[in-house]
Amino acid sequence: MRTLVVASGKGGTGKTTMTAVLVHVAAPSRPLAVADCDVEGSNLPLALSVDVVSRTAFAGRPRAVVDEEVCAGCGVCLDRCRFGALSLSDDGLAVIDPWLCESCGACTWGCPLDAISFEPQQAGEVLVGEGPAGPMVFGLLRPGEDLSGKLVTSVRERVAALADERGVGLVIVDGPPGVGCPTIASITGADGVLAVSEPTLSGEHDLRRLVSLAHQLGVPVKVVLNKADLSETGAQRIRSACSSLGVELVGELDFDTDLPRALGAVARGTRPPSSLDSSSFVHSVRAIWPRVDPERADWALPDDGSG
């Protein structure tokens, strides 16, 4: 089984649109599985029709609770907490700010009265659906949760298991923006990262960080430049960055504001999938797909391996 992750570093470059179009382009020739690992903003289900067939609770970190009957307000726990989550209320009792608490339990070790305990809580869900091309897995993280990386790992494990079960050879993953914990979880062990960039200074800056991360993790990168027509100087910057990073620029696509709507119409069933073929964006993606397809194209790290 091969895994291709669509990522970007910078948000809003067109990852989800690209993923949806790749699925459209790749699907007719063979079965595939799809995952949305942008668990904070899971938009792929809006761009591809999906019937959810199962939902599994994703456990969060246990929530720290102060027993007000027991707490004497000595304040020892305040000094033990390194995240500033504990304070004393007006009645002199310990109060935990759930938004700052990391559930580490350091407060419990100092408490002479065992007044702090932990309760289990749910942090999100892993959803499995049937999409146009095969199984689709996505995650929903409850707002404010800190376990996005772990939820991404659950989504990837689930999609890999489904692909295995059904003998599917290709998994396409819509990744999150950034280079932090959820991105690391999304691209670790993948066969390739297709980085969707844009012709801006910010796009170049964030692309460099993403390539550096992927190469650290031993995952090769290819770049597709989206919205290339918005700035020729910006486009030139991305071309130079790709060549200095030793990564292949597989293609350049013009800004297409109609495509998300066209994908949405197909996802809702109001237009047939074949209606997408009139889009020049889809046409261009079809042209670059043989250089991206991890089952056919050559994916290799740059010679020095460092990027």
Closer to other proteins by Cβ: residue 128 or 262:
262
Written as six digits, the tokens of 120 are: 């289990």
CB 61 to other proteins: min, Å: 7
- Burial environment of residue 104 by CB neighbours within 10 A (0 to 12, 13 to 18, 19 or more): middle
DSSP conformation class of 37: -
Closer to other proteins by Cβ: residue 94 or 162:
94
Closer to other proteins by Cβ: residue 3 or 200:
200
Written as six digits, the tokens of 135 are: 């199984």
Closer to other proteins by Cβ: residue 182 or 192:
182
CB 95 to other proteins: min, Å: 14
Written as six digits, the tokens of 292 are: 């991206």
Closer to other proteins by Cβ: residue 161 or 217:
217
CB 111 to other proteins: min, Å: 12
Separation between Cα atoms, residue 52 and residue 64, nearest integer Å: 33
Closer to other proteins by Cβ: residue 57 or 287:
57
CB 249 to other proteins: min, Å: 17
CB 183 to other proteins: min, Å: 7
Looking from the CA of 212 toward its CB, the CA atoms found within 13 Å total: 11
Closer to other proteins by Cβ: residue 119 or 298:
119
Cα 69 to Cα 81, 112, 114, 116, 277: the distances in Å are: 21, 14, 11, 11, 67
SS3 108: helix
Amino acid at 284: S
CB 129 to other proteins: min, Å: 16
CB 73 to other proteins: min, Å: 21
Residue ranges in contact with other proteins by CB under 8 A: 8-13, 16, 38-41, 43, 46-47, 61-62, 80, 82-83, 99-100, 102-106, 109-110, 141, 143-146, 148-149, 176-184, 198-202, 205-206, 209, 212-213, 216-217, 227, 230-231, 233-234, 257, 260-261, 264
SS3 185: helix
Nearest Cα residue to 276 out of 101, 14, 6, 17: 17
Question: Taking a C-beta distance cutoff of 8 angstroms, is the pair 220, 300 a contact?
Answer: yes
Amino acid at 129: G
